[in-house]
Chains A and B, each alone.
Chain A
Amino acid sequence: MTTSSARPDRLRDHAQRTQADVAVVRDAVATVARSAAVASDRCPGAPTSGTAGIRAAMALDEATGLARDVAQIGALFAAADANVSPGAIARSDDLALASVLATLYPGLSTGELSAPLDHQRGLEIGRQLEEATPKDAKAILDDLGSAIDDPEIAAGILAGLGADGLTHLVHEADRERSGLAFDLLDHQALLAHLNNILNRAATTVSDQANPLSPVRVATGGLDLALIARLGRTPLGREAMRAVVAPGSPTRLPTPVAVALAEALLLGPTSMDDLMTTDYAPGPGGVSDRGDRGSRAERQLIDLLANDPVAAYALEMRHAHGPSPTHTILARAHSQDDLARAAAVLDHVLNTAVERGWAQPWHSPRTGEVALLESTPVHRVLAGLIDVTIYRDSGQPTPPALSNVLARVVDTHLDFFAEDLESHRARDRASGVELTGSLTGTARFFEAVARDLPALASVAATVARPDEHGIVDMLAAHPPGTLDAHDIEEVLARERPLVDELRRGADAAGRKDDMRILLPVRAVTGLLPAAASAVGRAGGAAAGGPVGSLAGGATGRQVGTAVADPIRRSIESQVGHDDDDRELVAVHPSPYRAIEAAVGVMAEDDAWGQALRFTVDVPDIGVLRRLDLDDRPADRTRFDKWLALQDPVVAEVFTPLLTRH
């Protein structure tokens, strides 16, 4: 119990001076009343009812009442501390002061001024519960009636029980219930009581308290350290889940929401805890407890989704280590959960922008300092590309999440452009992680592309023609360690991106928008370019897919060897993946494929000489325009070029053209 103190003389002086002020202002009120009375007969249409005067009189009554109460509190301190001398500080512990107050001024002993007595009563009840069986505990709480709704009594109950007592009580209730020694309805009623106690006690915590720093409770009120202690052990967490789960989504003071989220959303899941303890599973089995845990988690995510400050504070309090927002996104399984998690993400980023955290970031390309480089917000943004937001189960990403992601990308387009670049740069450097990050990128944009206010912007980011970068990476890969299968795998995983961009464009009514079509085609163009890289890599390596034929082989053999990997790449795109989903066939432009094949031929000693002696390398610009627009004039040029080819050359290109 903490100590109260005050200077009784100052409280008395305060009261006297306030009353003197009130007397002066009452004169002004009386003057207004007289003027209004005169004007009421002589000033038709003017407001002369004296409303302001009446309100002023009521305000002065309030000030007078407060002055009287302050004087009584001063007298109370003087009475509680018999040793206080005039002008000195009087001291008393809270409980004793509240007791004297209840005796001397019973009319004042309500609300905040009776808090120590209420808290004490709660403490005593909590201690009784600590010793009680679940059945007795339920009976004790039943008997409390409406007193259980008093926030201080509720906070006192939790303080009296303590983390260990609450854990024990819930565990015993579950254990007895699993052995059918505790009636189902009584079990539910006990947990409902505890849920109500938690919610009532939470209201003693100021919503204005800084959620970024630990809250110390001076006296009474809910001690948030209790929640933290419960969050440290599997049984404590399970007890807290049991207490949180029965409620309906509600608004709790921000510091409480943050404390609960830290205890239950960032560590092991309910199922993890149940698997690592000997917790009684109950008549419904482990899944029954798992459901309870899921309900609790859902409620806590709801709290964060409805409290932007709490969502932001949770992220900022964990500036080091995994991002809480990512953890919440990764834990979301159902569409509803993802929508809730999306709201949390939205709050974190919006609040960051509102508080100025997200604005200072500038593109490193402009030479400005990236002030967000080391902040949690940067971490949230950067990690979004890697976080698993697309469900492998094939469930579509809910629009709520898509919308948030689209807004995020649209707002921070430069950031994501840079981040994608850095991902790809890392891939190029390591040479082996391309598949993973491209998959993440594809999934990210796949989600974004579903309902796209920012589709065009996102597409423009994707449109960065990167096939040359990928070709370079592939060509630089150690010879013999990469084959067409690797390329096919990469490209197969790129398909959802292309398909989603197309679908997104359709949904947005922008399927003819070149800003969207261009990236789609750019990704489609990866296939022949990548196949070309295979050829080049193989050609440089003894034993590679082309190299084995290159030395002394005929032009026809080399050409066939070049065309085959390309054809295989095309054919392999038609099939089914592990989940038996049909993969969409890739139909690359024949002209881009020919361009790639010619590129490979030109680099082959034997075949390249033959090619150069026969014709010039076809105009790449013409081939690309054919790919995009298929204009008759370009088609004519291409046909003329093809007609001039040696039949051996034409034979190499024929399989590519007949694919279409």
Chain B
Amino acid sequence: MTLPFQPPPIVFPPPFDDGAAARLAATLDQLADALRSMAVRETDRAHATVVDWRGFTRRWFGAQHRHVIQTLTDVANAANAEAASVRQAAVAAANAQATAQAAFVAQQQYLAQQQAEALAAAAATAGP
């Protein structure tokens, strides 16, 4: 018995490890926190260090220190952004999986209905 229409098979997305993604995002956020904490401690420390520090070496330190603090802050922001991207990827993968599953179920129902209708038609043709 041949069905009138044979739909293509549903392609499922590759498996996505939500746990691994969550762990990566969490460690990135922890890195960001660690960098920010370090920047704060560095700043506090510098206040104590520059007491009685005068002259051209002090000006040099000021510029270098500002640069380091800025870099630590920038990288912390980048780590948070990367963590957010990982979480977004996890959500997107889950959505893709759900969509494929729903399509698969609908396809199975369609095929079952087609098969039932084909059997009924065949029985009617054969007669009593």
Contacts and interface: CB of A to CB of B under 8 A. Distances in A.
A36 B45 CA distance: 33
A55 B78 contact: yes
A305 B51 CA distance: 41
Most B CB within 10 A of own CB, among A22, A35, A51, A76? A35
A39 B20 contact: yes
A39 B86 contact: yes
Contact of A46 (B32, B38, B57, B89): B89
Contacts of A14: 45-46, 48-49
A219 interface: yes
B1 to A, nearest CB: 40
Contact of A21 (B13, B26, B38): B38
Interface in B71-97: 71-72, 75, 78-79, 81-82, 85-86, 89-90, 92-93
A42 interface: yes
A100 to B, nearest CB: 11
Most B CB within 10 A of own CB, among A5, A46, A66? A46
A112 B60 contact: yes
Contacts of B46: 14
A625 interface: no
Interface stretch (A24-32, A161-169, A470-478): A24-32
B20 to A, nearest CB: 4
A132 interface: no
Given A43-B90, A52-B78, A21 B85 contact: no
A5 B55 contact: yes
A116 B54 CA distance: 14
Interface stretch (B2-10, B61-69, B104-112, B115-123): B61-69
A206 to B, nearest CB: 10
Contacts of B16: 42-46
B56 A113 contact: yes
A6 B17 contact: no
Chain A binding site: helix, strand, loop or mixed by DSSP? Answer: helix
A66 B67 CA distance: 10
A11 B45 CA distance: 10
Interface stretch (A56-64, A363-371, A380-388, A390-398): A56-64
Contact of A6 (B15, B57, B68): B57
A38 B57 contact: no
Interface string A1-26: 01111110011011001100110110
B56 A115 contact: yes
A549 B26 CA distance: 106
A44 B93 CA distance: 8
A39 B23 contact: yes
Interface residues of A, number: 55
B34 to A, nearest CB: 4
B23 A7 contact: no
Given A18-B45, A42-B16, A56-B79, A219 B56 contact: yes
A483 B26 CA distance: 93
A2 B43 CA distance: 27
A202 interface: no
Contacts of A28: 27, 30-31, 34-35
Given A14-B46, A112-B63, A94 B31 contact: no
B86 to A, nearest CB: 5
A120 B28 CA distance: 50
Interface string A107-129: 00001110110000000000000
A220 interface: yes
B53 A56 contact: no
A73 interface: yes
B79 A4 contact: no
Contacts of A29: 31
Given A39-B17, A51-B78, A62 B71 contact: yes
A31 B27 contact: yes
A7 B89 CA distance: 52
Contacts of B58: 4, 6
B14 interface: yes
A115 B72 CA distance: 28
Nearest to B67: A62
Contacts of A13: 49
B53 A6 contact: yes
Given A28-B30, A38-B23, A51-B82, A112 B56 contact: yes
Nearest to B21: A43
Most B CB within 10 A of own CB, among A25, A45, A112? A45
Nearest to B70: A59
A11 B49 CA distance: 6
Contact of B89 (A2, A45, A52, A116): A45
Most B CB within 10 A of own CB, among A47, A98, A116? A47
B25 to A, nearest CB: 9
A506 B20 CA distance: 73
A70 interface: yes
A166 B71 CA distance: 44
Given A38-B24, A47-B82, A59-B71, A2 B57 contact: no
Most B CB within 10 A of own CB, among A3, A6, A62? A6
A31 B75 contact: no
Contact of B31 (A5, A38, A52, A63): A52
18 contacts: A4-B57, A6-B55, A14-B48, A17-B41, A24-B38, A28-B31, A32-B79, A35-B24, A39-B21, A45-B89, A46-B16, A47-B86, A53-B31, A59-B35, A63-B72, A76-B57, A97-B56, A220-B56
Given A3-B54, A31-B31, A32-B31, 11 more contacts: A4-B57, A5-B54, A6-B52, A10-B49, A11-B49, A14-B48, A31-B30, A35-B23, A45-B93, A47-B85, A97-B55
